[in-house]
Structure 1
Amino acid sequence: MTEINEKEIEKTWLKRIRAFIGVLGMILPWLALLGAALVNKTSHFPDEFWQNLSISATYYITPPLVGVLTTAAIILMCYKGYDWRDNLVTTVSGIFGTMIVLFPCKCAISGELVGYFQLPVNVSHTIHCVSAVAFFVLLSINSMFLFTLGKSDTKNKKIKNIIFRVCAVGMIGGLVLIPLPIEFRSKIFISEAIALTFFAVSWLVKSEIFGFLSDD
């Protein structure tokens, strides 16, 4: 196998990994919501649970959060980018993604001791929230400053850079929406879904799954 073929195979594999990460981010909120709705048919949850619904709260009743986020976190930790900056940001974001799963949040149906380590729920909730913020901040940094790197000055590259920056702002915007004094049903879930959607779009565009934006 020639060196050129090896590089092409590696490039193709990297694009597929990016696309897979993007797909995981895109489907997570809706799988979590569907799972919660299906379980609710037989185990009715208090209205407070739905009023303050979050993707994280579905941890207690349906497996998508654990399965999808853990998979994405492991891939991020194993991800091999162009240089040490890519590797550092994705590895640390993967660690925080794992911590989101290991340290569940507090919600209307959580117990006093939660998670694998059976920590007091308030302690676990604090670690969970810090990890979630760090996770999205790092991913937005990745989209804003690392995905936009490259010497290519093509029209497609310029378009993609705009998309990457918009996605970075969108991820942070989704987080900022959560603490704002604007109350509406399932605000946290909607905010998380917005952040995850921008995350997914960023990685899907980077994967060049949309052929018309390819630099090739």
Structure 2
Amino acid sequence: MKPSANPGNNDIFTYRRLRRAIGYLGIALPVLLVVFSFIPFFKTEVQTSISDYYYTNLRDIFTGTLAAVGLFMISYKGHWNESLLKNDQLLTNVAGIMAVGVALIPVTPEFEVENILTLIPYDFSWLGWFHYGFAALLFGSFALLAINVFTIGQNEPEDIPVSTINENHIYRFCGIAIIILMILVPVSEMLKLFRYSTLILESLALFFFGAAWLIKGRALGDRGKLGEKIYREHNAEGTEEQ
């Protein structure tokens, strides 16, 4: 096989494919769960939260997707930074472990559940708090990655103005949106706004998480006017950005 003219490009494109995979999985999870809930074959009603799908026939989609996101993030070789809040390598590993934890340790069910097998075969209600803790750390890591990590080391050419849809603006917006949505989840639970408020808020948080990773993975392309406005690059192909 003929070697690549620029082997470094292979690493760049591999990173981008991995980022896109993480982004697509994050966005697809709530969409698949809700859509399949309307298909009689799966015998599953729309649940009040994403975590509640653990106790339905769609459990494999819930656990499998989260486990895949977790493994992808653990295998993602981020950059090391002395600041813990900007440490790509640390935050992606934490997020990956938390994603696997959310998948394997279920939330405490709101109703009596029979014949449900779990990784930890004990009916301890406090195990549900581990699930909530993992979920909080997971979304917290997502937000920190978008706000503190994705915005590091971007191009700043003087001849290209910063547009409204510049990638850094998108990352910060997504990160802040995730934080706000996660604060609203317990608030909506206490106020009992409406039946599916938690499901909607969690789905929106996953959408913003996925959107940030897709932009980082250049899923919309990086050439032409759109690429110039988002990435401030005349021609992004062949750059050394990771």
TM range (shorter): 0.7 to 0.9
Larger radius of gyration: 2
* Kept after mapping to 1: 8 A contact 2:37/2:43: no
Shift of 1:110: 5.3
Counterpart in 1 of 2:123?
120
Q: What amino acid is the match of 1:171?
A: I
Q: Which consecutive unaligned segments of at least 5 residues does structure 1 have? A: none
Count matched residues: 209
Shift of the 110–137 alpha-carbon distance from structure 1 to 2, 3 Å rule, reads farther
Cα RMSD of the aligned pairs, angstroms, is 2.3
* Kept after mapping to 1: 8 A contact 2:63/2:103: yes
* Kept after mapping to 2: 8 A contact 1:18/1:204: yes
Q: For structure 1, which segment, 27-36 or 10-19, has the greater mean C-alpha deviation from structure 2 after superposition?
A: 27-36
Shift of the 114–106 alpha-carbon distance from structure 1 to 2, 3 Å rule, reads farther
Task: Report whether the alignment pairs 1:56 with 2:59.
Answer: no
> 1:138 aligned to 138, 141, 163, which one?
141
Which structure is higher in helix share? Answer: 1
Q: For structure 1, which segment, 75-84 or 123-132, has the greater mean C-alpha deviation from structure 2 after superposition?
A: 75-84
- Summarize deviations over 1:106-155 as a string: whole Å, max 9, x none: 23345388621123241221000000000000110010000000052145
Counterpart in 2 of 1:70?
67
Q: Which consecutive unaligned segments of at least 5 residues does structure 2 have? A: 82-86, 222-226, 237-242
Q: For structure 1, which segment, 115-124 or 199-208, has the greater mean C-alpha deviation from structure 2 after superposition?
A: 115-124
* Kept after mapping to 2: 8 A contact 1:60/1:110: no
Q: What amino acid is the match of 2:128?
A: H
Q: Whole-Å Cα distance in 2 between the matches of residues 153 and 110 of structure 1?
A: 57
> 2:77 aligned to 77, 80, 93, which one?
80
Identical-residue share of aligned pairs (%): 26
Shift of 1:90: 0.3
* Kept after mapping to 2: 8 A contact 1:28/1:65: yes
TM-score (norm 1): 0.87
> 1:177 aligned to 171, 178, 184, which one?
184
TM-score (norm 2): 0.78
